[in-house]
Amino acid sequence: MERLWKRIAVPLTVVAFAWGGEALAFPQSTGGGGSEGEKAPVSSGTIKVEKAKGPNAYTVGEIFAKSADLDKKPVAVRGKVVKVSTGIMGKNWIHLQDGSGIAGKGTNDLVVTSKDVPKVGDVVTASGTLSKDKDFGAGYKYPVIVEEATFKP
Protein backbone atom coordinates (compact mmCIF):
# COMPACT_ATOMS: atom_id res chain seq x y z
CA MET A 1 0.00 0.00 0.00
CA GLU A 2 2.89 2.38 0.83
CA ARG A 3 4.29 1.83 -2.66
CA LEU A 4 0.96 2.67 -4.27
CA TRP A 5 0.65 5.80 -2.13
CA LYS A 6 4.09 7.00 -3.26
CA ARG A 7 2.98 6.74 -6.90
CA ILE A 8 -0.20 8.71 -6.23
CA ALA A 9 0.96 11.33 -3.70
CA VAL A 10 3.41 13.27 -5.84
CA PRO A 11 1.13 13.73 -8.89
CA LEU A 12 -1.77 14.73 -6.62
CA THR A 13 0.38 17.27 -4.82
CA VAL A 14 1.60 18.78 -8.09
CA VAL A 15 -1.97 19.04 -9.41
CA ALA A 16 -3.20 20.64 -6.16
CA PHE A 17 -0.53 23.33 -6.28
CA ALA A 18 -1.11 23.92 -9.98
CA TRP A 19 -4.76 24.63 -9.17
CA GLY A 20 -3.72 27.11 -6.48
CA GLY A 21 -4.31 24.84 -3.46
CA GLU A 22 -2.34 25.72 -0.34
CA ALA A 23 -2.43 22.27 1.19
CA LEU A 24 -3.60 18.78 0.44
CA ALA A 25 -5.47 16.57 2.90
CA PHE A 26 -3.43 13.45 2.27
CA PRO A 27 -0.62 12.00 4.33
CA GLN A 28 2.84 12.42 2.85
CA SER A 29 4.85 9.33 2.01
CA THR A 30 7.77 10.73 4.01
CA GLY A 31 6.12 9.73 7.26
CA GLY A 32 4.57 13.15 7.95
CA GLY A 33 0.98 13.85 7.09
CA GLY A 34 -2.06 13.11 9.14
CA SER A 35 -2.77 15.26 12.14
CA GLU A 36 0.89 14.89 13.21
CA GLY A 37 1.91 16.75 10.05
CA GLU A 38 -0.60 19.49 10.80
CA LYS A 39 0.97 20.77 14.00
CA ALA A 40 1.44 24.51 14.21
CA PRO A 41 4.92 25.97 14.15
CA VAL A 42 6.58 26.61 17.49
CA SER A 43 6.02 30.20 18.54
CA SER A 44 9.10 32.41 18.66
CA GLY A 45 7.69 34.39 21.60
CA THR A 46 5.55 33.88 24.64
CA ILE A 47 1.83 33.84 23.92
CA LYS A 48 -0.49 35.10 26.64
CA VAL A 49 -4.13 35.70 25.73
CA GLU A 50 -6.93 36.48 28.17
CA LYS A 51 -9.61 33.78 28.49
CA ALA A 52 -12.87 34.29 26.58
CA LYS A 53 -15.91 35.49 28.53
CA GLY A 54 -19.21 33.65 28.98
CA PRO A 55 -20.67 30.35 30.19
CA ASN A 56 -19.02 28.19 27.48
CA ALA A 57 -15.62 29.91 27.70
CA TYR A 58 -12.45 27.88 28.22
CA THR A 59 -8.72 28.20 27.72
CA VAL A 60 -6.98 25.88 25.25
CA GLY A 61 -5.55 23.88 28.15
CA GLU A 62 -8.96 23.56 29.82
CA ILE A 63 -10.51 22.29 26.59
CA PHE A 64 -7.97 19.46 26.42
CA ALA A 65 -8.31 18.68 30.14
CA LYS A 66 -12.13 18.67 30.07
CA SER A 67 -12.61 17.17 26.60
CA ALA A 68 -14.57 14.14 27.84
CA ASP A 69 -17.16 16.38 29.51
CA LEU A 70 -17.24 18.89 26.63
CA ASP A 71 -17.62 16.38 23.77
CA LYS A 72 -20.41 17.49 21.39
CA LYS A 73 -20.99 20.68 23.40
CA PRO A 74 -20.58 24.35 22.42
CA VAL A 75 -17.35 26.00 23.50
CA ALA A 76 -15.74 29.41 23.12
CA VAL A 77 -11.99 29.90 23.23
CA ARG A 78 -9.88 33.02 22.78
CA GLY A 79 -6.45 32.65 21.26
CA LYS A 80 -3.83 33.85 18.85
CA VAL A 81 -4.02 32.44 15.32
CA VAL A 82 -0.68 30.71 14.74
CA LYS A 83 -1.47 28.77 11.55
CA VAL A 84 -4.18 28.75 8.87
CA SER A 85 -4.66 26.09 6.18
CA THR A 86 -7.45 26.90 3.72
CA GLY A 87 -9.66 24.75 1.54
CA ILE A 88 -8.87 21.32 2.95
CA MET A 89 -11.85 18.98 2.78
CA GLY A 90 -14.04 22.04 2.18
CA LYS A 91 -12.95 23.66 5.45
CA ASN A 92 -10.39 26.07 6.78
CA TRP A 93 -8.17 24.71 9.55
CA ILE A 94 -7.05 27.26 12.14
CA HIS A 95 -4.58 26.67 14.99
CA LEU A 96 -5.12 28.74 18.15
CA GLN A 97 -2.82 29.15 21.13
CA ASP A 98 -3.42 31.18 24.30
CA GLY A 99 -0.39 30.34 26.43
CA SER A 100 -2.13 27.55 28.35
CA GLY A 101 -1.62 23.82 27.95
CA ILE A 102 1.68 21.96 27.66
CA ALA A 103 3.62 22.09 24.40
CA GLY A 104 5.37 18.76 25.07
CA LYS A 105 1.98 17.05 25.39
CA GLY A 106 0.41 18.92 22.46
CA THR A 107 -2.25 20.47 24.66
CA ASN A 108 -1.22 24.06 23.90
CA ASP A 109 -2.44 24.13 20.29
CA LEU A 110 -6.12 23.82 19.42
CA VAL A 111 -7.31 23.08 15.89
CA VAL A 112 -10.54 24.77 14.82
CA THR A 113 -12.42 24.24 11.54
CA SER A 114 -14.48 27.01 10.00
CA LYS A 115 -15.71 28.66 6.84
CA ASP A 116 -14.11 31.87 8.20
CA VAL A 117 -10.45 32.69 7.54
CA PRO A 118 -8.78 34.75 10.28
CA LYS A 119 -5.23 35.98 9.69
CA VAL A 120 -2.14 34.55 11.35
CA GLY A 121 -1.30 36.83 14.27
CA ASP A 122 -4.91 37.87 14.96
CA VAL A 123 -6.30 37.34 18.46
CA VAL A 124 -9.84 35.98 18.09
CA THR A 125 -12.62 34.26 19.99
CA ALA A 126 -13.74 31.05 18.27
CA SER A 127 -17.15 29.59 19.06
CA GLY A 128 -18.06 26.11 17.83
CA THR A 129 -18.77 22.53 18.82
CA LEU A 130 -16.06 20.44 20.48
CA SER A 131 -15.39 16.93 19.21
CA LYS A 132 -13.21 14.49 21.12
CA ASP A 133 -11.14 11.81 19.34
CA LYS A 134 -12.24 12.91 15.86
CA ASP A 135 -10.95 10.74 13.00
CA PHE A 136 -11.28 12.22 9.51
CA GLY A 137 -9.48 9.24 7.93
CA ALA A 138 -6.22 9.28 5.96
CA GLY A 139 -4.33 9.60 9.25
CA TYR A 140 -6.04 12.82 10.33
CA LYS A 141 -6.96 12.16 13.96
CA TYR A 142 -7.48 14.82 16.60
CA PRO A 143 -7.83 14.17 20.33
CA VAL A 144 -9.74 17.49 20.47
CA ILE A 145 -11.05 19.74 17.71
CA VAL A 146 -13.58 22.57 17.57
CA GLU A 147 -15.75 22.33 14.46
CA GLU A 148 -17.93 24.72 12.45
CA ALA A 149 -16.61 27.68 14.40
CA THR A 150 -17.27 31.36 13.91
CA PHE A 151 -14.77 34.03 14.90
CA LYS A 152 -15.04 37.39 16.62
CA PRO A 153 -12.16 39.81 17.22
Instruction: Give the pLDDT confidence score for residue 47 in this predicted structure.
Output: 93
What is the tens place of the pLDDT at every residue in 77-118? 999 999 999 999 999 999 999 999 999 999 999 999 999 999
* Percent of the chain surpassing pLDDT 90: 65
How far is the C-alpha of 119 from the C-alpha of 12, rounded, in Å?
27
Q: How far apart are the first and last CA of the chain?
A: 45
State the pLDDT confidence band at 14, using cuts at 50, 70 and 90: very low
Residue 18 pLDDT more than 50? no
Distance CA 42, CA 10 (A): 27
| Bigger pLDDT: 62 vs 1 | 62
- Above 70 in pLDDT, residue 34? no
**Other CB atoms within 10 A of residue 5 CB:** 15
C-alpha distances out from residue 54 to 13, 25, 100, Å: 42, 34, 18
pTM: 0.75
Looking at this protein, which amino acid is placed at residue 54?
G
Measured distance CA(33)–CA(47) in Å, rounded: 26
Q: What sign does the dihedral 23-27-32-37 (CA atoms) show? A: positive
Mean pLDDT in residue range 53-67: 97
pLDDT number for residue 42: 61
Cβ count near 4 (within 10 Å) = 8
